[in-house]
Amino acid sequence: MKARKMFAVLGAIVLTGVVLAGCRSEEQGRITDYQPGVYKGKSDQALNTEQLRTLRHRTLMQSGTIKPTGGGGGGKARRDVRKPGGSMIDYGKLNHRGRKQKGS
Protein backbone atom coordinates (compact mmCIF):
# COMPACT_ATOMS: atom_id res chain seq x y z
CA MET A 1 0.00 0.00 0.00
CA LYS A 2 2.84 2.35 0.81
CA ALA A 3 4.48 1.72 -2.58
CA ARG A 4 1.21 2.53 -4.36
CA LYS A 5 0.91 5.87 -2.60
CA MET A 6 4.56 6.64 -3.40
CA PHE A 7 4.01 5.93 -7.12
CA ALA A 8 0.83 8.02 -7.11
CA VAL A 9 2.61 10.97 -5.48
CA LEU A 10 5.58 10.70 -7.87
CA GLY A 11 3.21 10.44 -10.84
CA ALA A 12 1.35 13.57 -9.68
CA ILE A 13 4.63 15.46 -9.29
CA VAL A 14 5.80 14.45 -12.77
CA LEU A 15 2.43 15.37 -14.31
CA THR A 16 2.47 18.75 -12.55
CA GLY A 17 6.01 19.39 -13.86
CA VAL A 18 4.98 18.57 -17.42
CA VAL A 19 1.93 20.85 -17.24
CA LEU A 20 3.92 23.74 -15.75
CA ALA A 21 6.68 23.37 -18.36
CA GLY A 22 4.06 23.97 -21.06
CA CYS A 23 3.15 27.30 -19.45
CA ARG A 24 6.56 28.98 -19.84
CA SER A 25 6.39 32.63 -20.84
CA GLU A 26 8.41 32.09 -24.05
CA GLU A 27 5.82 29.53 -25.15
CA GLN A 28 2.98 32.06 -24.89
CA GLY A 29 1.96 34.14 -27.90
CA ARG A 30 3.81 32.07 -30.48
CA ILE A 31 2.34 31.58 -33.93
CA THR A 32 0.27 28.41 -34.19
CA ASP A 33 -1.80 29.20 -37.28
CA TYR A 34 0.66 28.53 -40.12
CA GLN A 35 -0.07 29.48 -43.72
CA PRO A 36 2.40 28.44 -46.43
CA GLY A 37 4.23 31.40 -47.95
CA VAL A 38 2.95 33.92 -45.38
CA TYR A 39 5.37 35.32 -42.77
CA LYS A 40 3.53 36.33 -39.62
CA GLY A 41 6.51 37.30 -37.48
CA LYS A 42 7.77 40.74 -36.53
CA SER A 43 9.11 42.85 -39.38
CA ASP A 44 12.87 43.47 -39.55
CA GLN A 45 14.40 46.84 -38.75
CA ALA A 46 16.09 48.69 -41.59
CA LEU A 47 19.89 48.99 -41.29
CA ASN A 48 21.50 52.41 -41.42
CA THR A 49 24.33 53.19 -43.86
CA GLU A 50 27.10 52.61 -41.29
CA GLN A 51 25.69 49.18 -40.40
CA LEU A 52 25.42 48.27 -44.09
CA ARG A 53 29.02 49.36 -44.74
CA THR A 54 30.32 47.34 -41.78
CA LEU A 55 28.30 44.30 -42.83
CA ARG A 56 29.56 44.48 -46.43
CA HIS A 57 33.15 44.80 -45.21
CA ARG A 58 32.78 41.78 -42.90
CA THR A 59 31.22 39.77 -45.72
CA LEU A 60 34.11 40.56 -48.05
CA MET A 61 36.69 39.69 -45.40
CA GLN A 62 34.99 36.36 -44.62
CA SER A 63 34.61 35.42 -48.28
CA GLY A 64 38.34 35.74 -48.93
CA THR A 65 37.88 38.30 -51.69
CA ILE A 66 39.27 41.79 -51.87
CA LYS A 67 36.76 43.25 -54.30
CA PRO A 68 33.03 42.50 -54.59
CA THR A 69 33.75 41.38 -58.18
CA GLY A 70 35.59 38.30 -56.90
CA GLY A 71 39.19 39.55 -56.97
CA GLY A 72 41.83 38.57 -54.49
CA GLY A 73 43.35 35.49 -56.06
CA GLY A 74 46.85 35.17 -57.52
CA GLY A 75 49.22 37.85 -58.70
CA LYS A 76 50.80 40.55 -56.61
CA ALA A 77 49.18 41.06 -53.22
CA ARG A 78 47.34 44.34 -52.86
CA ARG A 79 48.76 46.59 -50.18
CA ASP A 80 46.61 49.67 -50.73
CA VAL A 81 43.45 48.51 -48.96
CA ARG A 82 42.59 50.29 -45.73
CA LYS A 83 41.06 48.78 -42.60
CA PRO A 84 37.91 50.44 -41.23
CA GLY A 85 40.12 52.26 -38.68
CA GLY A 86 42.18 53.80 -41.48
CA SER A 87 45.43 51.81 -41.23
CA MET A 88 46.82 49.83 -44.18
CA ILE A 89 46.52 46.05 -44.51
CA ASP A 90 49.79 44.27 -45.36
CA TYR A 91 48.57 41.32 -47.42
CA GLY A 92 52.10 39.94 -47.77
CA LYS A 93 52.31 39.44 -44.00
CA LEU A 94 48.74 38.15 -43.92
CA ASN A 95 49.44 35.55 -46.64
CA HIS A 96 52.67 34.50 -44.88
CA ARG A 97 50.76 34.03 -41.63
CA GLY A 98 48.11 31.95 -43.41
CA ARG A 99 50.76 29.67 -44.94
CA LYS A 100 52.38 29.20 -41.52
CA GLN A 101 49.03 28.26 -39.99
CA LYS A 102 48.35 25.72 -42.74
CA GLY A 103 51.77 24.21 -42.15
CA SER A 104 53.02 24.68 -45.72
- Which residues neighbour 46 within 8 Å (Cβ) at sequence distance 6 or greater? none
Helix, strand, coil share (%) of the chain residues, nearest 5 = 50, 0, 50
13-33 pLDDT tens trace: 988 887 777 666 666 667 777
59-81 per-position pLDDT tens digit: 888 876 555 555 555 555 555 56
Whole-prediction pTM: 0.28
**Residues 59, 61, 62, 64: is their CA dihedral positive or negative?**
positive
